[in-house]
Amino acid sequence: MASKKQQPQQQQQEISTMRRLLGFDLTDLQSWSSFVKLMNRPEDPSSLAILRIFFGILMMLDIPQERGMSHADVYYPNDDKECQFPLFNFLEPLRAEYMVIVYFIMLLGAFGITIGFFYRLSTICFTITYWYIFFLDKTSWNNHSYLYGLIGFQLMFFDAHHYWSIDGLFRKKIRNSHVPLWNYTLIRYQVFLVYFIAGLKKTDWDWVSGYSMDTLGEHWVFSPFRSFMTIEQITLILVHVCGLFFDLLVGFALFFDRSRPFGVFFCLSFHIMNSQLFNIGMFPYTMIATIPIFFHNNWPRKFLNRFAPKFLYKETPLQYSSSCLYSKEEIKPEEPKSPSIKSKIANNSSVKNAPTKSTLRHKIFTIFALFYLVEQGFLPYSHFITKGYNNWTNGLYGYSWDMMVHSWHTQHVKITFLDKKTNEPHYLRPTAWASAKRWSSHADMIVQYAQCIKGKLKQHGYDDVELRFDIWRSMNGRFNQRQIDPRIDLLSSDVKWSPFQDTPWLQPLLTNLSDWRTRMQKIETELSSKDQNVLVTFVADFPGLFLENYIPADLNTTIEVLEGQIVVEMLGLKENVTLNVGQNMSVPNGDYHNVYTISSTPSCYMYTYLNQSDVEIVHLWDRYYNLTDRLLNETVDRNRPIYTDKEEADLVRLSYENVFEELRQKTLHELLELPYDFKLHNKNETNTNWTNIRLQFETSMNRSIVKRLDTKIKWHEKHHRTFKTFFAKKRRQFLRCYHIIKLAIRSIIYKTDFIKSVKNEINSAIDESDSDGIVTEETPPQPPTSTESSSSSSSKKSSSTNGKSKKKQTKK
């Protein structure tokens, strides 16, 4: 048993170990006053200033692109064509010229944050305008856009302008002065939550079993691993399992000193890979910029003292700040007793700014910090309160940190409205008044779109209508199934939506059929091994409902039952066929048919279809590719002795130009040795358009050559080209921003038509072909398959055929 003298020594040793690991002692948490003093403890401002500068620069790059400033005239066209999906229905966008001014204020705010000029005003301007634009459109929400807004909100209260700022040059009082500890606590906690809660969300069985990102292993960034791992192993182990453990552990690794080097290495690798894997704007670089916030708070000062030339950088002593709380020992620079203050404090005139007793300000900011910590930890799990925003997943996508956990595939959207006066049904194109597609995923946006359509139809003379949606989607490789009840009139007074109540007309996700995914993959693999041109669509439907489907004339289609019992009604033949498990039948093409689920449990069936014209085009492409590739290799071998001074990539380029000059002298029939009366097997076309087919072949061949050149180009040349393309794109975006700002100001002053001015003065001068739209975290929907039957405004048959032809063109 330890003596009484040894116990205090052991306790002191434990406390010092806790301070070394966590940065505080237990005594700091024993009372409210000690906790207030802890949260307002003075810290070096340099690391926070680095974050401020990086964040401001990245937001200036983000605003023209992902926020949409460079194309504000397109997103807000002043003619009320598009339906809006704001978080609150009273929010509405301003006219386009005023929205440009809003963007301009946000851009100026980001610039002010970067240089620390009028810092408080800049953070307020940036944050208010950012959240206004963010709340205007729920269809563009994603996790990283939400994170940008949170960081901007935090900077409003931080003293991040106490180091390396224009404000500090003119205000000696704040220049190089301390910042309170809660500034660092909030931003570190926020970044930690991004990783850790994302890891907790990835404990979902769909992620653990590898269904969330099932095609990611094919990306080129995983090429080094393909020498000893299959694509399936890369997808399951590297993407899903390693991704889970990375998110769960990397926050802890960054927090502790000994594990921080490993955390930094894996963080850098992870975010650099993400920048190549996903089109998510500045998010990877923003997360890289937050890594140094976990370092010691004075790391920039130490770095400059060690590496910067003395004539460029001279260390200035830290000043006291009224934002912090000091002990009496800490404000006596000649007798420093506290080990927490390591920097020299030579400016004794700032002692009067060093409070030793907590004021109302210190207590308010401590309460604010506590509230923020609790709120951010609770919000990702608050879906039991906001039940109306839940569907197959919990809540709106963007604030739950469930990044990439759910991959969606929209198979089919049909909008039907019934004119009650004539009792005549009409079919509305789903994108008629909403170009964004995410509205079909959430009940609140479905209701908003329904009410908007009601108003639009009134403008076209339809005053009294019934409106029904039929939305088919698949999540994480499951069956395509209905998301809402197609029998519900969304304009009926009985159909209500509340953010705090469950939505009764949403159809549940058929999780009991999740085990079918392995069998579905096996079936698709077996069919593809027999014929690569075969396409398969798996469908599940609820008892008492039916699927109306149109099969284009050039498709050979069969339907097979996997589970349950169905009745196939062939409208043209006026014949019904009942199918049980394992039975299949050929479905007539060029006509509609209905599939009724008559079993007491959900039915599961699959469509297998083959486009004969696609098969022929694939064979022709193979012949064209082999011919072109053989001629190219022969030309390269023939030119190599002649052009000995050229690099391999330049030699391939030159030879490819020679080959194309030779190929263009012959028709496609002559090149491929086809009879002149040869036509593709396509019942929808009387004459084959060989000009378009040749153009498709040449475009595909160009892409193949580009891939071939990528392997020949030297590393430095490839990256030089990448950076050159990036800066050229940014230059075009900022140039367009400059022009629309100028036209917006002119339009406001002189009351001119802003949209017309943009069309006349900008669109004619700047090439719009390379412009970028708003980037979102949602996976782009695949083209519709043979079940697509709802793309028209008046004619059902023409719309479905067009939808199918788009599918086939994209597939080729």
Q: Which residue has the tokens 């030579």?
A: 346
39 exposed, middle or buried (CB, 10 Å; 0-12, 13-18, 19+)?
buried
Using CA atoms, how far apart are residues 287 and 372, in angstroms rounded to an integer? 20
Q: How far apart are CA 318 and CA 345, in angstroms?
A: 5
**Phi and psi angles of residue 473, each rounded to the nearest 5 degrees, phi first:** -140, 160
Contact 284, 275 (CB under 8 A): yes
Tokens (6 digits) for 764: 């004619």
Active site (catalytic) residues: 202
SS3 607: strand
Question: Are 429 and 793 spatial neighbours (Cβ–Cβ below 8 Å)?
Answer: yes
User: The tokens of 574 are what?
Assistant: 């006026």
With tokens 């006291």, the residue in question is 320
Report the alpha-carbon distance of residue 442 to residue 222 in Å, rounded: 34
Query: Is the Cβ–Cβ distance between 542 and 482 less than 8 Å?
Result: yes
Residue with tokens 């920048």: 275
- Rounded distance, CA 4 to CA 448, Å? 72
CA 449/CA 469 separation, integer angstroms: 10
Edge to edge, what strands does the sheet with 465-475 contain? 424-428, 408-419, 465-475, 481-482
Coil, strand or helix at 762: coil
DSSP state of 576: E
Quote the CA–CA distance of 559 and 587 in Å, as a whole number. Answer: 7
Calpha distance 36→358 (Å, rounded): 7
How many whole angstroms separate alpha carbon 129 and alpha carbon 108?
Answer: 11
Cβ atoms of 429 and 437 within 8 Å: the answer is no
Radius of gyration of the chain (CA): 32
Question: From CA 690, how far away is CA 679, in angstroms rounded?
Answer: 9
* E strand or H helix at 472: strand 465-475
All residues at 6 or more sequence positions from 657 whose CB lies less than 8 Å from its CB, including other chains: none
CA distance 233 to 229: 6
Tokens of 374: 């609790």
The Cα 520–Cα 536 span in angstroms is 9
Q: Do residues 613 and 681 make contact, with C-beta atoms less than 8 angstroms apart?
A: yes
Helix (H) or strand (E) holding 671: helix 668-672
Do residues 605 and 539 lie in contact, with contact meaning Cβ atoms separated by under 8 Å? yes
